[in-house]
Structure 1
Amino acid sequence: MSAGDDMNPPTREASLKTVVENLAAVTERTQHIVRDEIELAKAEVAEKVGSLGRGAAVGVAAGVFIALGGLFLLHGLAFFFWWLLDFPSNQIFWGYFIVAALLFLLAAVGGLLAYKFVKKGAPPVPSQAIAEAKLIRESVSSTASGTLPPPPTGVPPATIDDKDRR
């Protein structure tokens, strides 16, 4: 007789039912974890893409300021040559130079902001989701081996409510 034959059928069925219930619970929890990780990755990528968009918009604005500054600089140079070559001394060019300097200053500020936004958002990698997935993998593998992982360092917990898990 084998050890399995010593169990009576109701006890064996109850044991199998418990295993099936536990397996279903593990499957459900795993699905929740995967959904949470997907939501975290989506949120991170959306944030970084938004930063890239803001950087691109500010960069375009800086380009417009540079183009306008160049236009005023060319007008100012034309008036400057008119004045330099001993024409009547209506020194109109100084207004053009001041406007051009202001536009170049605005372009520099806009360019620095664009660089900051683009650098912050590129490349759009969900680093928090990846770190969270690594922690989960370590936790699952260490639980299977009987040891517990060290507590996480610097990774904020997921903030997705149960109502968001659909």
Structure 2
Amino acid sequence: MDKLINDFSFGLFFWQALILVILILLLVKFAWKPIMESITAREEGIKNALLSAENAKREMENLQADNQRILNEARAERDAMLKEAREMKEKMIADSKNEAQEAGQKMIEQAKAAIESEKNAAMAELKSQVSTLSLSIAEKLLKEELSNKESQTKLVEKMLGDVKLN
């Protein structure tokens, strides 16, 4: 370092300074503008990339919100469909129960009517048999009682006496 300070030459310093200034002027004239343009372009590219990233982030948030909304709507629709299906099932069960009760009631009424009809038929049959049997018994009794002449005469006189009383 001492040697540089001791061997200082003003001419050499002047030429070095002049070359430095010329070099700076050449760089400013020819290289500075392209370098600045590339730096500016780079800055613009970075800004655009940041804006794109921000837009992508917002778009992603919007998509997530839309997805959540669609998911909530789908869940609500599913719940509504399940509720409707349950209501339909309960209505169908209730309708089936009512139809079964009505059918059972009709069957009971038909059975009662059939029983009543059979009862009436049996009663008519019984009456018919009783009357036939009664006539048969009465016929046998009358034959036996009227087998002799004396009982026939008494019966005729009694009947004639009844006719006079009326």
TM-score normalised by the chain length of structure 2: 0.44
TM-score normalised by the chain length of structure 1: 0.44
1 or 2, which has the higher helix percentage?
2
> Higher Cα Rg: structure 1 or 2?
2
